[in-house]
C-alpha cells in the first residue's frame, strides 16, 4: 500500500526560498513607504502670497501676522519708539517741534495702517509714499534719517512683542519698510500725478502733518489721552514743556478724556500757573463731561479756568 508522501515544505524544496519571502515583505514595506510619500506629496501646500513693493518680496501672511501682534499695543509700541528714537538721535526731535508726541503717535499709527490697507495696491501706495516723501523733505527730513527710523521701529516691535516676533515676521516687515523708505527717498526724482487724491491721504495719515485745526488757528494742540493717569505723566510733562517753550498760545483738547487722575490734573494746574506768569494763552477744546466733573470734584475749576 502506497503511503501518501508528505509534502515537503518550501524550505525543504528550496533552502533559499525563505529569503524570497523576506525580500517580498521588504518590497511590500518599501512599496507602502513610496505610496505614503506619494500621498503626502499630493497634499496641497499652503503657499503664502508674495507681495512686491519696490521690487522687495514680502510674505503677506507673515506681514499681517506681525500687524495683528502690534495693532492692539500700538500706543505702547510707538511710545517706546519715540523715546528710544529721541534718546539715540536727539537732533531728530527738532523736526517735531510743531506737534506733540501724542499727536505724532496717532498720525504714525494711521500711517502704518495705511500701509497695511493698501499693501496689495502698489500703484496707489507708491503715489501716497511719493507725496509723503516730498512733504517730509519740506519738514527737513534727510535720506539718512529713514534707515534710522526703520531700525528703531523694528527694535520697538521686537521689544514689545517678544518671542512671537519671529524671524519670518521680522523679514516681512523689514522688506516692507525698506521698500517704503526707498520710494519716499526717491520722491524728489519722480513727479506725483494725482495730487488731489494723494494730498487727501497725506492730510489724513501723514504722521508729520499737523491737524487742520492747528493749521487754521496757528496754535499747537496738547491732546489728553482717554485714560490720563500716572503712567502717562512723564509723556504729558514732556508734551507740555515742548509746547510752552516756543509758543504764545496753545490749545488743550480734552474731548476724549474718560478717566484722569490727580497727577495729570496737577501738571495741568502747573501749566496754567505758568501761563499767568508768562502771558501764555490757553484755550480748551471741548472738555468731556468726565473731565469737567473730575476738575470740579478736585476743586481746580478756578485754576484751570473751567468755571
CATH, residue 265: 3.30.750.24
Task: Report helix, strand or coil for 198.
Answer: helix
Q: Tell whether 70 and 178 lie within a shared domain.
A: yes
CATH number for the domain including 160? 1.10.490.10
Number of separate domains in the chain: 2
Per-residue model confidence as pLDDT tens digits over 248-295: 889 999 988 888 988 888 889 889 988 888 888 999 988 988 898 888
Sign, Cα dihedral of 205, 209, 213, 216: negative
Q: Are strands 249-253 and 281-285 parallel, antiparallel or unpaired?
A: parallel
**Range scoring the smallest mean pLDDT among 14-28, 36-50, 70-84:** 14-28
- pLDDT exceeds 70 at position 230: yes
Find the Cα–Cα–Cα–Cα dihedral 89, 91, 94, 96, rounded to 10°: -20
Q: What is the pTM of this model?
A: 0.52
Q: Tell whether 146 and 259 lie within a shared domain.
A: no
Average pLDDT along the chain: 77
Concatenating the DSSP letter of every residue in 103-164 gives HHHHHHHHHHHHHHHTTT-HHHHHHHHHHHHHHHHHHT--TTHHHHHHHHHHHHHHHHHGGG
Sign, Cα dihedral of 196, 200, 203, 206: negative
Mean pLDDT along residues 144-162: 92
Mean pLDDT along residues 94-109: 78
Give domain status of residue 185, yes or no.
yes
- pLDDT exceeds 60 at position 17: no
Under the banding of pLDDT at 50, 70 and 90, the label for residue 188 is low
Give the per-residue pLDDT at 150: 93
Grid coordinates representing 20 are: 524570497
Q: Tell whether 232 and 185 lie within a shared domain.
A: no
* Domain of 245, in residue numbers: 212-307
Q: Tell whether 59 and 187 lie within a shared domain.
A: yes
* More reliable by pLDDT, 99 or 170: 170
* Phi, psi torsion values for 49, nearest 5 degrees: -75, 135
Sign, Cα dihedral of 85, 88, 92, 94: positive
Show which of 166, 194, 210 is a domain's final residue.
Answer: 210
Q: Tell whether 185 and 221 lie within a shared domain.
A: no
Amino acid at each position: 500500500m502506497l503511503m501518501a508522501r508528505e509534502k515537503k515544505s518550501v524550505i525543504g524544496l528550496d533552502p533559499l526560498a525563505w529569503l524570497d519571502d523576506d525580500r517580498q515583505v521588504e518590497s511590500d514595506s518599501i512599496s507602502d513607504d513610496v505610496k505614503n510619500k506619494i500621498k503626502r506629496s499630493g497634499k496641497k501646500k499652503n503657499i503664502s502670497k508674495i507681495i512686491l513693493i519696490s521690487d522687495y518680496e514680502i510674505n503677506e501672511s507673515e506681514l499681517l501676522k506681525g500687524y495683528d501682534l502690534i495693532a492692539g499695543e500700538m500706543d505702547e509700541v510707538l511710545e517706546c519708539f519715540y523715546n528710544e528714537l529721541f534718546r539715540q538721535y536727539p537732533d531728530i526731535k527738532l523736526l517735531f517741534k510743531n506737534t506733540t508726541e501724542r499727536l505724532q503717535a496717532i498720525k504714525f499709527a494711521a500711517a502704518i495702517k495705511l500701509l497695511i490697507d493698501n499693501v496689495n495696491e502698489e500703484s496707489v501706495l507708491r503715489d501716497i509714499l511719493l507725496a509723503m516723501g516730498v512733504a517730509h523733505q519740506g519738514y527737513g527730513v534727510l535720506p539718512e534719517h529713514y534707515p534710522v527710523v526703520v531700525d528703531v521701529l523694528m527694535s520697538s516691535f521686537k521689544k514689545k512683542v517678544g518671542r512671537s516676533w519671529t524671524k519670518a515676521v521680522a523679514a516681512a516687515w523689514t522688506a516692507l519698510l525698506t521698500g517704503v523708505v526707498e520710494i519716499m527717498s526717491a520722491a524728489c526724482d519722480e513727479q506725483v500725478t494725482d495730487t488731489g487724491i494723494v494730498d487727501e491721504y497725506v492730510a489724513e495719515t501723514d504722521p508729520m502733518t499737523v491737524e487742520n485745526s492747528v493749521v487754521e488757528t496757528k496754535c499747537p494742540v496738547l491732546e489728553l489721552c482717554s485714560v490720563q493717569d500716572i503712567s502717562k505723566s512723564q509723556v504729558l510733562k514732556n508734551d507740555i514743556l515742548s509746547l510752552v517753550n516756543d509758543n504764545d498760545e496753545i490749545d488743550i483738547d480734552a474731548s476724549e478724556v474718560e478717566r484722569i487722575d490727580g497727577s495729570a490734573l496737577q501738571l495741568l494746574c502747573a501749566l496754567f500757573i505758568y501761563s499767568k506768569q508768562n502771558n501764555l494763552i490757553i484755550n480748551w477744546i471741548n472738555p468731556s463731561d468726565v473731565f469737567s466733573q473730575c476738575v470740579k470734584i478736585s476743586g481746580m475749576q478756578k485754576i484751570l479756568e473751567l468755571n
